[in-house]
Structure 1
Amino acid sequence: MEIIKDIFQTIINLGAPVFLPIILTIIGVILGMKLPKAFSAGLILGVALVGMGMVMDFMTANVGAAAQEFVENTGVQLKALDMGWAPALGLVWTWEYAFLMFPIQIIINIIMLAFKLTSCLNVDMWNVGNKVCTAFLVTYVSGNAFLGFGFAIIQCILEFKNADFTRYRLEKLTGIPGVSMPHPMFLSGIWFYPFTHLMDILLPENVNIDAQKIRDKIGIFGENHIMGFIVGCFIGVFGGYNVSEVLTLGVQAGTALTLFPMVAKLFTTSLTPISEGATEFMKKRFSGREFTIGLDWPIMAGRSEHWLLMILAIPVIFVYAIFLPGNIVLPFGGLMEICLIVPLFYLTMGNMVKMAIGTLLGLPVHLYVASYFAPHFTKLAETTGGATVPKGQMLGWLGMDISELRWIFAASSEGNMIAIVLLVVTIPLAFYYFKSIRKEDLAIAKELGYEVAGK
């Protein structure tokens, strides 16, 4: 046992960009991939981790330095720089136990398929990182890795059930049959659904806004590099920079927001062959079964409602960030608030008025949760070397998937009584949500012409 432990620790000590490619290569071979293809996929993951670290260092060195000046000149204590989703998930992959979530998710999917507890064959391997994130956050807060992985496993199971119970809703929104969405952000429906259901009762369905017409007028202001430039200039001005420095920072911030999704695609590139291998592995073992293919949320990206609201919410985010007492996060990488607005789009079937009300209520929660977890992301970056954090600064993630649930999981694990009460409340809310959303989905299935058994 001691020899195995020493080998295991030696691999971990190599650092995430080295040991994760080794682990991914081994998993690929187990799933039936040829060794060269598995090795290539693993190596690209290592490249993605190094690349994300370089871009994060670039962001903290430039935007982070200006953010410090912003804090000093304005007196607003926003000392945690928002990374956004891509760097945050890239960072959690550097956690020493991150690789364990690969086999755990695959095994859970196999077991649930075998016992007919789900029809979702999940091929969205990039979002394994979201379960890693939950396990990491709970572990760091509680000091108990078993508790961390326990909550991550619960999350994984609920994602599969949510995918099953919203498959026809997804088809109605996208026009694509045979797919489902086991993405963690949609579990926010457990807490969002009572509010959106109340709005369904209070607001007539015809109270809505034509999103496409407004988005057409916004034009280039919805593009990453433009938003980054504007935000960078804003920070530079209030940081006391001169004109040349303000414009330079604007370009640097635009560069960071442009590069983040580009580097994030490398994670997808590395995990796609593993995803395909896992799909073939499970199809061979469950031949003759009808599956839905579990995909990532961008299959809904063609709709204008969420993009429009993300852009319109940006000034509101800054107002909240500056004036909310106790917030320490300076919005930057997560300005688009995907993981708040897209679930609201999903639940309201794209009703802009209801989505806007939900966004106004949800933004403060996301800022406070980001503030709560900022010390833990910062500690991870410092421990693993995943990013260089200047003295006096922290790294945060605004717009974290299932922010409310992750805070409840983590805070309750350290004995926070408010979180424990909310955890208890979450259980009946989850039953209510899944029962109600399933009933709605069956009605949508009938509307689409499917004959589906169920109540």
Structure 2
Amino acid sequence: MFVIDYIVSMGASVMMPLIFILLGLLLRLSIAKSIKAGLMAGIGFIGLSITVNLMIDSLTPVSHAIVERFGLNLTVLDMGWPAAAAVAMGTRVGALVIPVCVAINILMLYTKTTRILNVDIWNLWHHAFTGSLVAIITNNLWLGVLAAGLNCIVTIVIADRTTADVEKYLNLPGISVPHGFSASFVPAAWLVNAFVDRVPGVRDIKIDTEVIQKRLSILGDPACLGAIIGAILAIIAGVDVKAILQTAITMAAVMTIIPRMAKMLMEGVYPISERIQEIAQSRAGSFGKISIGLDSAVSVGHPVTLSVSMLMIPIMLVLAAIIPGNQFLPFASLTGLPFAFVLVTAVCRGDMFRTLLTGMLTLSLALLIGTSLAPLVTSTAVSTGFSLPHGATSISSVDYAGAMLPWVIIQGFYFKAFGVGLLILCTLLLAVWNRKKILHENQLSAQTDAAGIEAGE
């Protein structure tokens, strides 16, 4: 535990290069290639972190001004994901979550219930968050660990089922996103897609970057789109001209820099990914095509993801004011919304209209879920020694206390043996279903490769 805590305390920007260097060496890449892969992954991740923090620093005063302008007076304070992560990793479940989830990932690879090798170790805090809340309500550490494990399995399966969309629509070949927060919004995106596809007229609405470039050429450029949306947000906030211009330029920079940093990170990922595929093929397809599981930060810079995220800031504040029963005041989590829409953008095939519909549905639910879990989140935070902000009596967050997946798992544990048994059964059935899909896809891939060889001959 001391070793694990020490490594985690170094932060994701140090963990990621170390993990990739170690992976490269274990996969028998040369020392030089392993170090280069690790460094490029680390540099790209640091670049992403700096740019995302720049966005947060710029949008935080704007979000605060919008909150004040709307005059919202709600009782549950938004503590944001950094505080939620600190609470999750500060519990006994948090101390065990990394070895448990790594073991689950390895077991799922060998049982062919996944094709993802998850190296996004830091974001396992999402599973620890669910497990920590369950440990509080059951007063049982091992039930908390079980809840974290179930959360981990479901997240990996969702990431598996979205890998093709991530490759096609986010242009990230060989990459999956087993990020708890991002994955939690995928089922809603599937439902929105299914609904829209069945509504004549509505199903023909399509607003992607290609459409925007054709009809509104200036909006098709990420920099221009970022500047316009940033300026609109600042105008809604009622800030002065100087702040409007600063926000516009910063958002233009963010939407331009993030994709380039993601590309740099991918330079470190590709050698590892290619080597894994070589090993998988040398074993007669025993594993099939394996994807590297990364933080959703690799694609927060997609124009649709960032645009919808920024548009949802004022929309979510309006929703907070009008939804009956809501007591959750979104604030600290608003600038982290891009992480919610990474996989939604992929599942919605890069369509802004469907992604925005999904956002309105999921974030409306997030407000109610955040309100519902606030007493449990508050008691868990207090038990870890977390100091509540001055004047606050109840806290929550969109990430991860406003997500649907942890809420469903936690509700299951309230029903004791019956609920826990049902959760375990559903999770195992989901894993078996994913295995069947994987075997079928491997078979189709093998047939396609064989047909290609015959055509070549």
TM tier, smaller: 0.5 to 0.7
Q: Cα deviation per residue 1:265-294 (whole Å; 9 max; x = unaligned)?
A: 9xxx9xx9xxx99xx99x999984655233
**Aligned residue identity for 1:88:** A
Distance 1:313-1:98 versus aligned 2 partners, 3 A rule: same
CA contact (8 A) 1:123 1:293 kept: no
**Aligned residue identity for 2:396:** G
Identity %: 19
SS of 2:92's equivalent in the other structure is coil
SS of 2:395's equivalent in the other structure is strand
Q: Cα deviation per residue 1:199-220 (whole Å; 9 max; x = unaligned)?
A: 2222565421144747568958
Q: In the alignment, which of 169, 176, 182 is matched to residue 178 of structure 2?
A: 182
What's 1:157 paired with? 153
What's 1:200 paired with? 197
CA contact (8 A) 1:311 1:336 kept: no
CA contact (8 A) 2:75 2:327 kept: yes
**Aligned residue identity for 1:170:** V
Distance 1:210-1:193 versus aligned 2 partners, 3 A rule: closer
What's 1:45 paired with? none
Distance 1:313-1:18 versus aligned 2 partners, 3 A rule: closer
| Correspondence 1:292 to 2:285 | no
What's 2:46 paired with? none
Gap regions ≥5 residues in structure 2: 27-34, 36-52, 255-260, 452-457
What's 1:51 paired with? none
- Number of residues paired by the alignment? 385
What's 1:382 paired with? 382
Q: Distance in 2 between matches of 1:432 and 1:108?
A: 12
Distance 1:450-1:209 versus aligned 2 partners, 3 A rule: farther
Q: Distance in 1 between matches of 2:330 and 2:159?
A: 33
What's 2:258 paired with? none
Q: Distance in 2 between matches of 1:121 and 1:432?
A: 15
Q: Distance in 1 between matches of 2:361 and 2:316?
A: 11
Distance 1:76-1:401 versus aligned 2 partners, 3 A rule: closer
| Correspondence 1:105 to 2:101 | yes
- Alpha-carbon distance, 1:189 to partner: 3.3
Moved more, 326-335 or 313-322: 326-335
SS of 1:202's equivalent in the other structure is coil
Distance 1:378-1:201 versus aligned 2 partners, 3 A rule: same
- Alpha-carbon distance, 1:436 to partner: 13
Q: How does 1:272-283 map to 2 (within 5 A)?
A: none
Gap regions ≥5 residues in structure 1: 1-7, 38-54, 238-242, 259-264
Q: Distance in 2 between matches of 1:392 and 1:401?
A: 17
- Alpha-carbon distance, 1:196 to partner: 2.1
Q: Distance in 2 between matches of 1:286 and 1:148?
A: 38
Q: Distance in 1 between matches of 2:72 and 2:185?
A: 34
Q: Distance in 2 between matches of 1:151 and 1:192?
A: 24
Superposed CA RMSD in Å reads 5.7
Distance 1:182-1:74 versus aligned 2 partners, 3 A rule: closer
Distance 1:338-1:451 versus aligned 2 partners, 3 A rule: farther
Q: How does 1:203-282 map to 2 (within 5 A)?
A: 206-211=204-209, 213=212, 222=226
**Aligned residue identity for 2:376:** H
Q: Distance in 1 between matches of 2:322 and 2:375?
A: 21
**Aligned residue identity for 2:334:** G
Distance 1:164-1:408 versus aligned 2 partners, 3 A rule: closer
What's 2:372 paired with? 372
Q: Distance in 2 between matches of 1:387 and 1:366?
A: 24
Q: How does 1:66-81 map to 2 (within 5 A)?
A: 74=71, 76-81=73-78
What's 2:303 paired with? 304
| Correspondence 1:358 to 2:354 | no
Distance 1:304-1:438 versus aligned 2 partners, 3 A rule: farther
What's 1:136 paired with? 132
Distance 1:18-1:339 versus aligned 2 partners, 3 A rule: closer
Distance 1:145-1:116 versus aligned 2 partners, 3 A rule: same
**Aligned residue identity for 2:160:** D
Distance 1:152-1:163 versus aligned 2 partners, 3 A rule: same
CA contact (8 A) 1:165 1:434 kept: no
- Alpha-carbon distance, 1:103 to partner: 0.9
What's 2:42 paired with? none
Distance 1:133-1:285 versus aligned 2 partners, 3 A rule: farther
Distance 1:407-1:450 versus aligned 2 partners, 3 A rule: farther
